[in-house]
Amino acid sequence: MWSWVAHRVTGVLIFFFLFVHVLDTALVRVSPEDYDKVVATYKTPIVAVLEYGLVAAILFHALNGLRVIAVDFWSKGPRYQKQMLWSVVGIWVVLMLGAIYPVLGHAARELFGS
């Protein structure tokens, strides 16, 4: 049940990110100066944490989507859905640990120095 909720929530979050991304990219045609200001805000540590959340949402949504496909199209999928869910969570945790430095490294250097 919670994987179903998390899949829907991450899908909605990804949709809103894509909507904002299209809007801010379109801003370059309207006002390049304002676009530069918006892009400058993306270099703040708070946005780096939000980017880490975005990576978390995309990874979970993708991995859980593969699990849902396996449950739907593999004849033994429903029998092993709980094990597949825990596998998805384990892979997600490992990938998120691996994403800490690449995504949050700039924010850490910004806050604590090189």
Query: Which parts are annotated binding residues for heme?
Result: 61
Annotated binding residues:
61
Tell me which residue of 61, 45, 48 sits closest to 95, measured CA to CA: 61
Nearest alpha carbon to residue 93 among 51, 63, 48: 63
Give the span between the Cα atoms of 112 and 25, in whole angstroms: 31
